Each structure stands twice: as C-alpha cells, then as structure tokens.
Amino acid sequence: MTEHGPQPVERQLPTEEARDLIALVRELAAREIRPHAAEEEAAGHFPRELFTLLSESGLLGLPYPEEFGGGDQPYEVYLQVLEELAAARLTVGLGVSVHTLACHALATYGTKEQRAEHLPAMLGGGLLGAYCLSEPASGSDAASLRTRAVRDEGEGAGWTLNGTKAWITHGGIADFYTVLARTGQEGPKGISAFLVPGDAPGLSAAAPERKMGMNGSPTAQLHFDDVRVADDRRLGEEGQGFSIALGALDAGRLGIAACAIGVAQAALDEAIRYTAERRQFNRPISDFQGLRFMLADMATQIEAGRALYLAAARRRDAGLAFSQQAAMAKLFCTDAVMRVTTDAVQLLGGYGYTADFPVERFMREAKVLQIVEGTNQIQRVVIARHLAGPESRR
C-alpha cells in the first residue's frame, strides 16, 4: 500500500511481446470492461460484444498455435492475461478460460485437417465456445455420464446424440460445444469427444440458472434430442474422450486459479483504497494495526496463489507433468479468493455489504470458483492420489 493507493501488479514476463500484451489487456480492461461491470452484472447482461473485441484483439486463442490463428503464448503469459481480465470482470475472465477449455480437445487431439477447418474461426474468427462434461446426475463422478452417441450406418454415416448436459457456461449462446458422450461400455473407457455446432438441429438450451453471482454469464442445461454429428467431428479416437476431458481440465484448473487471483486482487485493491480514505477517530482506518494486519494477510495469500499457479504453468510450458500442481493451484487460489473477498467486505463494514461498492459482488462471485471444474474436495482427492503413487491413480 502506498500513499496513493494500490499499484498495478508488477509482473515477471518472459518477453517484450508479453509485456506489450499485458499492457494492451490492462488498457482494454480499463476502457471497455471495468466501467460497465457492476451495471451489466446487475442487469444479467452477457457482453458478447466484448468477446468479439477480444477475438479481434487476438485474446481468445493465446495458448494455441499461430498457424491456426492462435497467439503461440506460453501458459505462463496466458494465465496472467486471464488474471487481468478477471480482475476487471469475472464473467469475462472466466468466459475466456471456458472458451480456451472448449478449444483444447480439437487443438490437442484433432487431426491436421480438423484443426485447419475449425480452429481459425474458433481462435480468431469471433466464435465463442462451451465445454459439455457435467450432467444432472454426474458432476464430480463425470465418468458415469449418460449422454449417448450412437453411430449411424449407411450413407452419410455419423453419430446421433441424445441426453442432457448441466451447468454449461455459455449454454444456449455458444457457437460450438465440445461434448463428451458415451459411445461404448460403462465407465471412462466408453466415452468419446465431439465438436457440435451451436445451431445443430435438435440442440436446445433450458432457461439460464438463477445464481448467487456471475449473473452476466449464462449457465444452462443443454438438451440433445437426436442431434446428428458427422463422423469427422469426433475428436481423437473412439473411447478416448475421458482422457481428453481430464487433460483439458488440468489446463482449465489453472485458468480458474488465475481468475481467482484476479478477483482477489481486485478485492484487495478496493479494500486498500477504502481504508486509506475512510476516517475514524481522526485518522484513516488504515492506520489501525488490526486492519493493516488483515490487508497484509490478504496480500500474502494473493502473492502465494499467484506464485503457485505460475509455477504449475511453467511446468506445463516445459512439458512436465502438472496435474498435481494444477489441482493444488486451483485448490489454494480459490480458497484464498473466498477468504480475501470475505475480509474485504469486513474491512468496508456496512458499505461492504451494499451494492454501492464492488466487494459484495466479488464475494458472491468468488464462491463459484471453489465449485467449477472440480470442487475443491475433488482437488484434494486428486492431490492425495498423486501423493499415494501411481497405483492409487488407476
């Protein structure tokens, strides 16, 4: 904390290009995202125009190959962009993370022909994606999913999908969906991945869920009623879908961790500003040791979380195993944002409980980050399995 309030996060970036990228994102966030965040969240407005702008600015495909329209940026850089976006508005930061997750199966497991046909529009052509794994009866136990894809025989052979997906971010508004469906036996080995167009006949969305926070980001069930998909839209091998999903979630959990630190940083910045300006007993309340210690603890948790997600990202960039580290980062960062935003509300007192200040929104939004892409209880299961050795991970 300085005399003039919080300063922008000083980032360690590997290249001049990355530093320019962060500067661009901060400018865009200050001009286009942050000024409208509170009003649009209160109105439940999804900022599709912002995602079009992000696509035109090259920010929807940052970690993917340049030859297919991506930005060829390391995860270390991409995640810091997510943090900046989420600090301005979680609906935007999380939306970019979900879109990146939706592109993962095609970018990683698609054939060269599939990638050349679809990826350029997905990464830089203004399209928006969604990821469909969870179902009403299979959340944490994702391998028990029931949505089924049956192979069609004869001319124009492909697949017909039937079932319901639940808790789908961008459900009903996405241009494409990466869908995990059962094509064979029970359990994880009977699941395959498909790229389904958003306007496919037979695909419909329920009314968006009524949520505690992130009201600008639609979350809805998707219904597949005899949705036909061409065989060249199956991603990877038949039966490979669950391993594809797990690989995507490892990377996606790092995105959630970065978004969590972005929201936490925004809450800390607001708390620093308020406590420097608010006066009681003829002094700024930031002069009182009890409040200073709260700010110090908040800042420490944020810095630790940032270091943890960046360490995991660097392992990914180096081609090392990072599943355990991704689970640790998601667990720590999302628990930290819940603590930090709760403390921010406390520091603002009665004002913190009102919608006139953003910390009450930050607190409501923080909660979902402990739930999405594997609850924090599931993260502990993942971490414990790694600690117990390979036998326990079968």
**Do 248 and 297 belong to one domain?**
yes
Closest CA to 13 of 326, 314, 319: 314
The number of distinct structural domains making up the chain is 3
Active site positions, annotated: 373
- The per-residue pLDDT for range 143-189, each reduced to its tens digit, is 899 999 999 876 668 999 999 999 999 999 999 999 999 999 898 99
**Do 82 and 153 belong to one domain?**
no
**Do 116 and 76 belong to one domain?**
yes
Q: Which CATH number characterizes residue 191's domain?
A: 2.40.110.10
**Do 265 and 389 belong to one domain?**
yes
Boundary-marking domain end, from 76, 103, 124: 124
Q: Is 5 within a domain?
A: no
Find out whether 357 and 351 touch, Cβ atoms under 8 Å: yes
Boundary-marking domain end, from 60, 92, 124: 124
Q: Which CATH number characterizes residue 282's domain?
A: 1.20.140.10
- The per-residue pLDDT for range 335-380, each reduced to its tens digit, is 999 999 999 999 999 999 999 999 999 999 999 999 999 999 999 9
Q: What angle (nearest 5°) sits at the alpha carbon of residue 61, between those of residues 312 and 245?
A: 60
Closest CA to 248 of 105, 375, 110: 105
**Do 194 and 277 belong to one domain?**
no
**Do 55 and 168 belong to one domain?**
no
Q: Which CATH number characterizes residue 68's domain?
A: 1.10.540.10
**Do 231 and 256 belong to one domain?**
no
Find the domain containing 338 and state its range.
243-393
**Do 312 and 262 belong to one domain?**
yes
**Do 389 and 250 belong to one domain?**
yes
Q: Is 11 within a domain?
A: no
**How far apart are the C-alpha atoms of 293 and 302, rounded to whole Å?**
14
Per-residue pLDDT of the chain (394 residues; tens, 9 = 90+): 444 467 788 888 889 999 999 999 999 999 999 999 999 999 999 999 999 999 999 999 999 999 999 999 999 999 999 999 999 999 999 999 999 999 999 999 999 999 999 999 999 999 999 999 999 988 888 889 999 999 987 666 899 999 999 999 999 999 999 999 999 989 899 999 999 999 999 999 999 999 999 999 999 999 999 999 999 999 999 999 999 999 999 999 999 999 999 999 999 999 999 999 999 999 999 999 999 999 999 999 999 999 999 999 999 999 999 999 999 999 999 999 999 999 999 999 999 999 999 999 999 999 999 999 999 999 999 999 999 987 555 4
**Do 252 and 387 belong to one domain?**
yes
Q: Is 70 within a domain?
A: yes
Boundary-marking domain end, from 241, 272, 294: 241
Q: Is 3 within a domain?
A: no
